[in-house]
Copies of this chain bind each other. A is one copy, B any other.
Amino acid sequence: MSNQDFMMDTFFEDEEGLTEKQKKIILAAIESFSEKGYAATSTSEIAKKAGVAEGTIFRHYKTKKDLLLSMITPMMGKFIAPFVIKDINKVLDHRFEHYEDFLRAMIENRIEFLKKNLPLFKIIIQEIPFHPELKAQFKEHIGNKVFERVSEMFKHYQDKGQIIELPSKSIIRLAASTIFGFLISRYIIFPEADWDDEAEMERTIQFIMHGLTPKDEFIPGSETE
């Protein structure tokens, strides 16, 4: 399964019916929101950056909040797209003998996606706590859709004894924390540090693997815990 099956990398793919000015507005808004935060960004600033009149923003987006939502909703949809493939188990059996291969493919793919949409990703994680609508959207999309699919997948490998017996929620939380933690450290908190990207990615994935792998897969009856 190539990464290309999963990905949807640029924001305006599949976004039809946007005028040129609308695109410029969205781009400018993404840039500003991600740099200064939603509340600290003024619409006049966005207008200037987009090269349009301030009124133009409000012709397309009734309110500033509307503008925010108009970029987050499609992004969420694209993020979960790969999880919504039907008959995921067939894909799994067919393509990935060991869960590690699958997990690696999945993680690399979604990391790739987020890297390509970093500013938007940053906006989402920054603003979710302050906007109940966003939170609701997030819960519905990630919390439900993705949860269902990923549970299914994990169950597939748990049945094979390749993944430890944890509640899906916990597994997802732990894996997601590690992944998001990597992205946030790498691109948001310490972007200008000296990173060996390939190695860090590998370490991150390894860490998840180890954490999720049953100890006694390796040696029956070994550890104490």
Interface residues of A (CB under 8 A from B): 36-37, 39-40, 100, 122, 126, 128-130, 135, 138-139, 143, 166, 170, 173-174, 176-178, 180-182, 184-185, 188-190, 200, 203-204, 206-213, 215-220, 222-225
Contact = CB atoms under 8 A, between A and B. Distances in A.
Contacts of A224: 215-216
A130 B39 CA distance: 11
Contacts of A37: 37, 39, 129-130
A138 B218 CA distance: 39
Contacts of A129: 37, 122, 126, 188-189
6 contacts: A126-B126, A174-B204, A177-B177, A177-B178, A177-B182, A217-B223
Contacts of A189: 128-129, 135, 138
A54 to B, nearest CB: 11
Nearest to A174: B207
Main secondary structure of the interface of A (DSSP, over half): helix
Nearest to A207: B211
A160 to B, nearest CB: 15
A7 B100 CA distance: 39
Most buried by B among A184, A213, A215: A215
Nearest to A35: B130
A178 B188 contact: no
Contacts of A40: 39, 130
Contacts of A36: 130
Contacts of A178: 174, 177-178, 181, 211
A122 to B, nearest CB: 7
B188 A181 contact: no
Contacts of A209: 225
Given A139-B190, A210-B213, 17 more contacts: A37-B39, A37-B129, A37-B130, A126-B126, A170-B203, A174-B181, A174-B204, A177-B178, A177-B180, A177-B185, A178-B178, A178-B181, A178-B211, A211-B211, A215-B224, A218-B222, A218-B223
B225 A215 contact: yes
